[in-house]
């Protein structure tokens, strides 16, 4: 990921937000960097589970295979963080996402995430269905 690949929130096909909690802050008075991963998770979950119907078939789940986060700025309490998410690549059983976090319109972090669909019984990767792949195509972006 290069810093020049940043986008504005409006450029993302999927947008979500999280309310900042006082408990998210650290001794320096800003949101702890470990909470950034939770915000990114919110964006992923919005895509997989709450956009109309679930993209996760019965007997399967998605697991995190890679999370690369670049911290750009601090997030301050109180307020909210906005989350922009898009799909970079649709593999056989995996999805590569690009996400950015914003506070008050300013990008504070960006991330590339790979999630893999796993069969809950076998604990092995499970191919994405053609229908899921087609749904994910509407969220494709390039950076």
User: Which domain CATH number covers 40?
Assistant: 3.10.129.10
**Is 129 part of any domain?**
no
Number of domains into which the chain is organized: 1
Q: Is residue 91 part of a domain?
A: yes
Task: Give the residue, 43 or 2, on which the prediction is more confident.
Answer: 43
What does the alpha-carbon distance between residue 57 and residue 54 come to, in Å, rounded to a whole number?
7
What is the rounded CA–CA span in Å between residue 83 and residue 20? 13
The mean pLDDT of the chain is: 92
When pLDDT is averaged across residues 103-127 and rounded to a whole number, the result is 96
Considering the domain boundaries, does residue 115 fall inside one?
Answer: yes
pLDDT at residue 2 in the model: 52
Pairwise CA distance, residues 105 & 122, whole Å? 43
- Percentage of the chain lying above the pLDDT 90 cut: 80
Residue 40 in contact with residue 47, Cβ under 8 Å? no
pLDDT by residue (tens digit) across 8-26? 999 999 999 999 999 999 8
| Global confidence as pTM | 0.91
Q: Which domain holds residue 25?
A: 3-120
């Amino acid at each position: 990921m290069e810093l020049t690949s940043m986008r504005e929130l409006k450029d993302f096909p999927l947008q979500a937000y999280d309310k900042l909690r006082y408990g998210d802050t650290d001794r320096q008075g800003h949101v702890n960097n470990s909470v950034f991963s939770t915000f990114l998770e919110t964006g992923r979950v919005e895509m997989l589970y709450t956009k109309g119907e679930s993209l996760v078939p019965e007997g399967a789940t998605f697991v995190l295979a890679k999370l690369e986060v670049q911290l750009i700025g601090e997030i301050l309490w109180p307020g909210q963080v906005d989350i922009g998410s898009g799909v970079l690549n649709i593999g056989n059983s995996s999805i590569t996402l690009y996400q950015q976090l914003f506070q008050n319109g300013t990008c504070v972090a960006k991330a590339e995430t790979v999630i893999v669909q796993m069969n809950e019984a076998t604990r092995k990767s499970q191919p994405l269905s053609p229908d899921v792949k087609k749904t994910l195509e509407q969220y494709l972006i390039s950076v």
